[in-house]
Amino acid sequence: MKFGLGHKIAALMSALIFLIGAGLSSVLIYQERVAIHDLRMDASHELTQRTATHIENDLYNLDIRKLRSTVATIMQGGGIDLIWVLDEHGRLLTDGHPAPRLRNQKPSVPFVDQLLGSGGTAELMDPSYHWVGQSVALGDGTVIGYVVVAYTQSHLDEHLRTSLINQLIVLVPALLFGVIAAFFLGRRIAEPLVAVSAAAEQIGDGNWDVVINDDSQDEVGDLARSINAMTKNLSQIAVSRDKLGEIVQRRTIELQRHRDHLEELVEERTRELTKSEERFRGFAESTSDWFWEMDENLCISYLSDRFEDVTGRPIGAVLGKTRRELAAPEAMQAEPEKWNEHFRDLEGHRPFRNFEYDILPDIGEGLISISISGVPIFDGNGIFRGYRGSGEDVTERKAIAEELRQNEEKFRSIIQTTTEGYWLIDPQTHEMLEVNPALCRMLGYDEGEILGRTPLHFVDAENAEVFKLQMAKINVTDHRSYDIVLTKKDGNKVPTHFEASTIRDANGKSHAAFAFIMDISERVQTQNELQQAKEEADRANQAKSEFLSSMSHELRTPLNGILGFAQLLEYDPSIPLYASQKDKTDQIIKSGNHLLELIDQVLELAKIEAGKISVSLENLSICDVFDECVPLIEGMSEKRNITLVTECSTHPNIMVRADQTRLKQVMLNLMSNAVKYNHDAGSISLSSKITGDDKIRVAITDTGLGIPEDVQDKLFLPFERLGREASDIEGTGIGLTITRELVHLMGGEIGFESEVGKGSTFWITVPLAHGTEAPASPRSPVVENAFTLNTPLGNEAKNYVALYVEDNPANLGLMEQIFDMVPNLTLLSTHTAELGIEIARTQRPDIILMDINLPGMNGVEALGQLKADSSTRDIPVLAVTAAAMPHQIEQGMDKGFLAYVTKPIQVENLLNTVREILKLS
């Protein structure tokens, strides 16, 4: 960076200011130091003198305590750094502090020697202290001690430093200000000279246009003005010559530029014209239309090649002809007015569009329909020069249009004659655009009364919602199918079915919607009638089910008493029966069981007829079924010495697809019939084999009475005993009916062969099983254990408490007598569920036996309350009820009954169930 004149001036002034400031500060500091020194000296001397006077007596008495106190007091006043009281030898007596370190020692300070040598007062300033001392003497001049006072120089220095800092605080800003001012001044002085120097440099470079600021009224201003005058003269001389050359050069360059631009423009235009011609040629060759021109005489003067392709007429044969000459005569005759108008356009030199006419092809039959469009040609002077235009072959298009017209006529005819209603509506406004006579008849309106209206006019409020919903779909869906009730003109309702569609254009936008409307009054009526019939049938079925359920319950309840008490008689060891009495009770039990069986079978038949029976098909081993059924029949057969032969000729692993329980029921029914209708010492054989239709055939053959041929067709009818009602053979006449239904349900067939006197063979077929499903486990045969009423339950040492809730006195009495027999069981009983719950809460029985049909709260509700109460929740509850329908049993188990015992109860079964429950709990 250049250290210019301005900087020099500024630096010089700054230095000057600094020197002046520093000098002044130094002088002030010195003066202050001297002043302070003098002041302190005076103060020191005075203090020393006062102290010496004050301590005379204490020093004389050597009262160290008072000397110490005096010195300490003076020191507390501040401003003094040290006071010593010395003895006559200069040894420290006290410095104001207890037990001073220098006690009895002469301080090794030069001043002390000076003081001792002075004999009076002394003063010394060393780097650390300013010492003042004075002797304490008696009247005779005997010195008894000294007082020494000292100030540290640091105080003075501190004071001077403070003063210096204060001065600097004032001086430094002033100096800075001076330096800044010096820089400004220096720059201001140097600026004009710098400008002159810069201008001179530019002039030296040839720039004679530079002008120096010459406002200043000093030598620099005079210099600037002289230089300006000089450069002005010089530049005037140079401009004339240089500028002329420049102008010429510039013009030459412009001319060259324009010439080049013109050539470019010409080339570009030429290119565009060529391109346009090529484009036009391309269009002409690619289009299906042709182009033509007529001269001012309206004769064809030009035809593009396409004309010949379309019409087959050579262009040369057409050129020079007028349109009138080209047109087919019959076409002109068919539409004279059209032609006249066209000629008027031509004569009037007006443009025309899509003028259609027929021409005869050069070769072939038929007319060719063409459509031409043209515009008149005028020259630059506005003189008519002919026509120019295009033409196209519209033969095909016209044919299609004709076809469409014909199709529409057909459509119209269909619409008008159909018996179904029809309407066409606007997809946006939903106004009727078209209707057919059938709709008018259906609604009772004239056509005029319907057109322009919307469909909502023909429905009530409820059905209007249906229309609104469907009309909202017009633009969304293509087809809609729905039923709706229309309102006729006379107010009557007509149920209808709509098949509606939306018509869309090529862009998918809907431009109409139509619907065919069918009067479905008859169908609706038929549906209503069917619905009514179904409801009646359902009600009848329901009534029948309720009747059966009620009957089952009502019959089972007294049967419970009959069979129960009969069993009591038989099982009560305290009342041994005579043989005749036992026979009678056996008969009671037998009859009761028979009645029970009848009830069950009637119910089952009713279920089958009602279609409420279902089978659970599974893979079974047919031989396992035989093995289960035979033991159950053996008792019967052995009594009459009937031989039972089982022949399981199929492989034991062959499986059938059947309901295990129902198949067993079927087999037991057939086998029991074979026993019942057999001779004593007769035989029964059981066989099976695989048939050809993927089934297995099981046959039960007996050596019984046989069935007369005339009654064989009644064999499977319900309650039909074929004349055996009067015999001693027991039966209900329902077993085979049920058996047949069950076999059919399992996908099999049943049949028989029989000969009177020889016996009968009843057979069934069952489908074979396929696949890898595991076979059902054979159910274990019931093992009958020896049973007596007085067998203790569970833990013999424990006394169990049972609660029985039953409203029927007879049943209640039966249960009480049964439970009386059991040694370690106490029975509590009550006749309502409410009381039962209360007793359960207070007595906490080990088990509850609950009837379901109770007055007030029923047994299921009571079970719910017991389970909801923490105090009774865990007491097992056993249902004992005549509600024996399967759904009732299932419902009861779902509700939480631990077991479900149906009436009439089997005492052994009941007590075994109670035993098992108590064992579990």
Partner 1 sequence: MIALHHSLWRILPTKRRAVVSLSSAVVTLALAVPSFAKTMTIGTISTSPVEETRVFQPFADDLAGRLAEDGIDDAKVVIATDIQHMAALLKSGAVDLYIDSSVTALAVNALSGSQYMLRRWKKGRSQYRSVIFVRDDSDIKTLDDLKNKVIAFEEPFSTSGFMLPAMTLKREGMKLAAVQAVHVRPPAGTIGSIMAFDNETQSSWVERGRVQAAAMAEEDFHTFAKTALNPLRVLYTTPYVPYHVVIHRPDLDHKLVQGIKKVLKSAHETQSGQSMLKNFERTAKFDDIPEQLLGHVTVLTPFLSLILSP
Q: Which residues bind partner 1 (CB under 8 A)?
A: 61-65, 68, 91, 93-94, 98-101, 103-105
Q: What are the structure tokens assigned to 148, written together? A: 């020494």
DSSP-assigned letter for residue 10: H
Of residues 91 and 187, the one with the C-beta less far from partner 1:
91
Cis omega before residue 904 (within 30°)?
yes
**Rounded CA gap, 647 and 683, in Å?**
13
> By C-beta, is 58 or 289 nearer to partner 1?
58
**Strand bridging mode 899-902 / 510-519:** unpaired
Q: In what order do the strands lie in the sheet containing 510-519?
A: 432-435, 421-425, 510-519, 493-504, 479-487
CA distances for 509 relative to 470, 478, 499, angstroms: 17, 11, 20
Region of residue 757 (phi > 0: left; psi between -120 and 50: alpha; otherwise: beta): left
Q: Which residue has the tokens 């057999």?
A: 678
Cβ-based nearer residue to partner 1, 106 or 398: 106
Q: Which residues, 6+ apart, have CB-to-CB distance to 309 below 8 Å?
A: none
In the chain, the amino acid numbered 839 is: I
CB-nearer residue toward partner 1: 103 or 187: 103
Closer Cβ to partner 1, 69 or 475, answer by number: 69
Number of residues assigned to the chain: 921
Compare residues 62 and 170 and give the one whose CB is closer to partner 1: 62
Residue ranges of the alpha helices (H) in 348-436? Answer: 395-417
DSSP-derived secondary structure for 204-269: HTT-TT-------SSHHHHHHHHHHHHHHHHHHHHHHHHHHHHHHHHHHHHHHHHHHHHHHHHHHH
| One-letter identity of residue 254 | E
The smaller minimum CB distance to partner 1, of residues 106 and 457, is found at 106
User: Distance (Å, rounded) from C-alpha 40 to C-alpha 65?
Assistant: 29
Q: How far is the CB of 72 from partner 1 (least distance, A)?
A: 13
Query: Smallest distance, Å, CB 63 to partner 1?
Result: 6
CB of 40 to partner 1, least distance (A): 31
Whose Cβ is closer to partner 1: residue 101's or residue 410's?
Answer: 101
Q: Which residues make Cβ contacts (< 8 Å) with residue 138, sequence separation at least 6?
A: 60, 144
Given the complex with partner 1, which of 55 and 644 has the nearer CB atom? 55
Q: Which is nearer to partner 1, 100 or 437 (CB)?
A: 100
In the bound state with partner 1, the residue whose beta carbon lies nearer, of 64 and 175, is 64
Least separation in angstroms between residue 81's CB and partner 1 is 22
Question: Taking a C-beta distance cutoff of 8 angstroms, is the pair 461, 448 a contact?
Answer: no
Q: How far is the CB of 129 from partner 1 (least distance, A)?
A: 23
Please say whether the beta carbons of 701 and 687 come within 8 A.
Answer: yes
Nearer residue to partner 1 within complex by CB, 61 or 614: 61
3-state secondary structure 296-361: CCCCEEEECCHHHHHHCCCHHHHCCCCHHHHECHHHHHHCHHHHHHHHHHHHCCCCEEEEEEEECC
**CB proximity list for 410: less than 8 A, separation 6 or greater:** none
- With contact defined as beta carbons under 8 Å apart, do 806 and 880 qualify? yes
CB atoms within 10 A of CB 116: 18
